[in-house]
Structure 1
Amino acid sequence: MPKTREWTYDGTELAWLQDRLGQSGTGPGHVVAELVPSGFEAYVRIFHRFEASDGSGRSRTWQAWADDTAVPFHAELSHLSLRAEDRDGDGPLWQTEEGALDDRSRRALSRCLAGVTGDQAVFFAYDLAALCWGEEEPLVRRATLADLETVRAAVADAVGTSGPEFWWPQDRSWVVTSDYDLLSTYVGCSAETAERLLGDDELEALPVTPRTRVDWYADRP
């Protein structure tokens, strides 16, 4: 019989975070509380930008696509709703990546958080990616926000190019979660930091709550 490999957070840097995550409820779908630890004043959804498949370098925001196709733009919007309403059959495919912020948004998020965190140490963690890629425990690197891209490049051979799945500073004043299977990133933080993120022109973001649904069918019948 095949041996099932057990996964434990005991003794890892992720233990505190996992202890504060909620469990899947009895209702349909999954919610923010399963991704981002409890105890923060505010929670924010950051949408991963869509990139054109024709090599033009063009990008498209979720709100622009929603406005173009008369779909309400809201905190539980699913990409499936956008695709179902798309009528531009002659245009490029619009694609975004699961588990990874686009480069533009990632740079903007890092810049915003650096204004809060400064040069203190930041932990960058890979959880499900590490499990899927055959690691024996979560993979965690400690650096500064300025080193985010260096960390991503250094671990790409071990866990791929998604993530990091979780990042947080030494003082745990915020946590960023880019779930391995989702097309948006979620942040738990102070109200002041949330205001900073929501007001940044480079980020497409909306406020959410711990009970906001996050799965692909969040706003589907």
Structure 2
Amino acid sequence: MTETREWSYAGTELAWLKAGLQPSSEGPGRMVAELVPSGFAAYLRVFHPFEAMDGSGSTRSWHALAKDVGVRLHAELSHRFVSDEDMAAGRKPRWLTASGQPDNGTRQALARALARTTGDQPVFFAYDVAALLWGQDAPLVRRSSLASLEAVRAAVAADAGGMEGPEFWWPQDRSWVVTSDIDLVSTYVGCSAEATADILNDPEIEALLVTPDTQVDFSADQASHRFP
């Protein structure tokens, strides 16, 4: 007999955030508005760096790899532009990027950039789909300081038996939201103009401005966007 589990946000800190998301459409394609609530001055795509598949630990930016294969870096660029180049030549991909979470360096740099406008107010860290996959009865939400992001990750991993997440994090005043969808290779942020400048000017973060209508799924990049 199949067990049916109810999954509710009622009574959790995630309720306001989920209420601000655009419902998923039945057609192809998901948009930023389905991941980040409405009402922010700006929206950003934060790219998860590519890692070498040779075990060297080397990383490369999307900008560098896009330049290598002759495509434009743009808001809906798919990670498959690199894999497709190699696969077309019968090779295994040399570079892959992680889905679900940015690398440690990008995540910590993003936290530092947001701290400039957040101050010492509490921050909420939420686990949604990850909590469901770990067998939890409801979403997990932890309240701490922004500086404690990595400590929260470690504590939740120890308590719940997983490491992915948080999928959402935001300050008490809800002046920004960070979303790392478990299936996507980029993180999306809604924030103020001031926080946007801090993120875009940080050399450790690769980011582009997007809009709520920007498509985010793997099939987003329908045009080649190749240089002439």
TM-score of the two chains, using structure 1 as the length reference: 0.94
Unaligned runs of 5+ in 2: 224-228
Alignment correspondent of 1:135: 136
Unaligned runs of 5+ in 1: none
Residue identity in the other structure for 1:58: S
Counterparts of 2:221 and 2:91 in 1: how far apart (Å)? 27
Whether the aligned pair in 2 keeps the contact of 1:125 and 1:138 (CA below 8 Å) is yes
Residue identity in the other structure for 2:221: D
List per-residue Cα deviations over 1:145-183 (Å, max 9, x = no partner): 111111111111415222210000011000000001111
Alignment correspondent of 2:180: 178
Counterparts of 1:203 and 1:152 in 2: how far apart (Å)? 20
Whether the aligned pair in 2 keeps the contact of 1:54 and 1:92 (CA below 8 Å) is no
Alignment correspondent of 2:55: 55
Counterparts of 1:13 and 1:45 in 2: how far apart (Å)? 24
1:205 correspondence with 2:212: no
List per-residue Cα deviations over 1:188-210 (Å, max 9, x = no partner): 00112112111111110000000
* 1:217 aligned to which of 212, 216, 219: 219
How far off is 1:6 after superposition?
1.0
Alignment correspondent of 2:197: 195
Alignment correspondent of 1:37: 37
Counterparts of 2:93 and 2:4 in 1: how far apart (Å)? 43
Instruction: For residue 106 of structure 1, give the secondary structure of its aligned residue in structure 2.
Output: helix
List per-residue Cα deviations over 1:102-149 (Å, max 9, x = no partner): 011111101101111111110000000001111000001111111111
1:28 correspondence with 2:28: yes
Instruction: For residue 166 of structure 2, give the secondary structure of its aligned residue in structure 1.
Output: coil
Alignment of 1:67-106 (within 5 A): 67-86=67-86, 93-106=94-107
How far off is 1:53 after superposition?
2.6
CA RMSD of aligned residues (A): 1.8
Counterparts of 1:219 and 1:86 in 2: how far apart (Å)? 18
Identity score, percent:
63
Counterparts of 1:91 and 1:25 in 2: how far apart (Å)? 34
How far off is 1:92 after superposition?
7.5
| Larger deviation, residues 45-54 vs 23-32 | 23-32
Whether the aligned pair in 2 keeps the contact of 1:125 and 1:140 (CA below 8 Å) is yes
Counterparts of 2:74 and 2:148 in 1: how far apart (Å)? 33
Whether the aligned pair in 2 keeps the contact of 1:126 and 1:159 (CA below 8 Å) is no
| Larger deviation, residues 94-103 vs 15-24 | 94-103
Whether the aligned pair in 2 keeps the contact of 1:42 and 1:194 (CA below 8 Å) is yes
Shift in alpha-carbon separation, 1:3–1:112, aligned structure 2, 3 A: same
Alignment of 1:7-18 (within 5 A): 7-18=7-18
How far off is 1:93 after superposition?
2.9
List per-residue Cα deviations over 1:6-55 (Å, max 9, x = no partner): 10100001000000000123542000000000111100000001112333
* 1:162 aligned to which of 134, 152, 164: 164
- Equivalences, count: 221
How far off is 1:96 after superposition?
2.2
Residue identity in the other structure for 2:63: Q
Whether the aligned pair in 1 keeps the contact of 2:42 and 2:191 (CA below 8 Å) is yes
